Amino acid sequence: MEIIECGNEVRVYGVTDFCLEHIFECGQAFRWNRSQKGYTGIAAGKVINVDYMEEDQVLILKGCTTDEFNEFWKHYFDLTRDYSQIKMDLSSNDQIMEEAVRYGWGIRILNQDPWETLISFIISANNNITRIKGIIEKLSRKFGKQISGEGNEGSPCYSFPSPLSLALADEEDLKACGCGYRGKYIKHTAGMVVNGLIDIYGLKNLSYEEAHRELVKCMGVGDKVADCILLFSMEKAEAFPVDVWVKRIMESLYIGHTIPKGKIKTYAKKLFGPYAGLAQQYLFYYAREKKIGKKE
DNA sequence: TCTCAGGACCTAG
DNA sequence: CTAGGTCCTGAG
């Protein structure tokens, strides 16, 4: 990995197994949008534009310094993990996974902020991506802070709201952002964070099982949402979130009949091992793009 | 205790 | 009527 900084952009050479569309369209992050070039998004209270040239294996980050890249974005994009090796391990002796990996070859599991991920995935329950993104944008505009930089069409950008701001928020104001019945969950969970009833930044130091047990104590966090938070913000690559798409593809391509979600998770963790979460992402992207298992 | 089903639930399209 | 589920009950 070679880094060159010029002007306000950083170029990172030697980046492989990387595709922005795969990364941002696989349902793990909600604050990134396609722009003229690449994607523009907000993370860690900063606006940034990223673009990637496959032929040169170069990742370009606009609005970023070398220090910021090394201290934050390198880990955010999970650039130190060897995806080639993991993809080979997952694909050996597994035709289905081989196909899924070939399809979503550039997926990376982002290392996002635990607090933002917690609330984002509470919102994701029984919801669709378009609406999830809209709700998070409205929440940020209402309860976040304006930050420098601009989004698409020069629109102002807002950081994700702090725990305190959502804990103090009027439930009706949360609902006005489109949260619906999840407004109560958000306020309640934000309160738990503020009061120290859950230490979301310490959870990654616990085992997968312990951290999962803690997370489901939060209102609005069930088994699936907890697994998403663990996978996308707490470096638990073994977490295997079972949503409808993954349930369908596991049932139709691996198991052959319908079975309860809990058993799918056990089955998958045994089959895919410590990188079950990455397997889940490849399967999810593959299933959703190809509409596999979708009933007519 | 623990697992599994079934219904209710905001809201935009 | 559906969409990346959770909460709440009740049954086994």
Residues around strand C, C-beta < 7 Å: A 26-28, 124-129, 185, 216, 218-226, 228, 241, 243-245, 284, 288, 294
Q: Which nucleotide is nearest to A185 (CA to C1')?
A: C6
Which CATH code is given to the segment(s) A244-290? 1.10.1670.10
* Rounded CA separation A125/A119 (Å): 11
Residue A193 CA to nucleotide C3 C1', Å? 29
A117 confidence band (pLDDT: 50, 70, 90): very high
CA of residue A269 to C1' of nucleotide C3, angstroms: 26
Average pLDDT of the residues of chain A? 94
Reported as a single tens digit per residue, the pLDDT across A4-51 is 999 999 999 999 999 999 999 989 999 999 999 999 999 999 999 999
Report the distance from CA of residue A264 to the C1' of nucleotide B3 in Å, as an integer. Answer: 14
Return d(Cα A83, Cα A121) in angstroms, integer.
Answer: 25
Taking a C-beta distance cutoff of 8 angstroms, is the pair A228, A234 a contact? no
- Going from N- to C-terminal start, the domains of chain A cover 2-80, 114-233, 244-290
User: CA–C1' span, A183 to C10, in Å?
Assistant: 27
Q: How far apart are CA A48 and CA A212, in angstroms?
A: 31
SS3 letters across chain A: CEEEEECCEEEEECCCCCCHHHHHCCCCCCCEEECCCCEEEEECCEEEEEEEECCCCEEEEECCCHHHHHHHHHHHCCCCCCHHHHHHHHHCCCHHHHHHHHHCCCCCCCCCCHHHHHHHHHHHCCCCHHHHHHHHHHHHHHHCCEEEEECHHHCEEECCCCHHHHHCCCHHHHHHHHHCCHHHHHHHHHHHHHCCCCCCCCHHHCCHHHHHHHHCCCCCCCHHHHHHHHHHHCCCCCCCCCCHHHHHHHHHHHHCCCCCHHHHHHHHHHHHHHHHHHHHHHHHHHHHHHCCCCCC
In this predicted structure, what is the pLDDT of residue A290? 79
What pLDDT, on a 0 to 100 scale, did the predictor assign at position A293?
A: 65
Each residue's pLDDT tens digit, A258-274:
899 999 999 999 999 99
CA of A259: nearest nucleotide by C1' is: B4
* 3.20.20.70, 3.30.310.260, 3.50.50.60, 1.10.287.1040: CATH of A2-80: 3.30.310.260
From the list A87, A187, A224, A265, the catalytic residue is A224
**Å between CA of A182 and C1' of B8:** 14
**Cβ A76 vs Cβ A90: under 8 Å:** no
Nearest nucleotide, C1' to the C-alpha of A182?
B10
Examine the residue annotation and report whether A269 is marked as an active-site residue of this protein. Answer: no
pLDDT, one tens digit per residue, over A161-188 is: 999 999 999 999 999 999 999 999 999 9
pLDDT digits (tens, 9 = 90+) for A45-70: 999 999 999 999 999 999 999 999 99
Model confidence at A111, in pLDDT bands (50, 70, 90)? very high
Task: Please state which of the ranges A135-144, A179-188, A205-214, A246-255 shows the lowest mean pLDDT.
Answer: A246-255
Query: Does the domain at residues A114-233 carry the CATH identifier 1.25.40.10?
Result: no
Q: Which residue is nearest to nucleotide C7 (CA to C1')?
A: A220
Mark the nucleotides of strand C covered by protein, meaning any atom under 7 Å from a CB. Answer: 3-7
Nearest nt (C1') to A125 (CA)?
C5
Per-residue burial over A24-36, b if 16 or more Cβ lie within 10 Å, else e, is bbbbbbbbbeeee
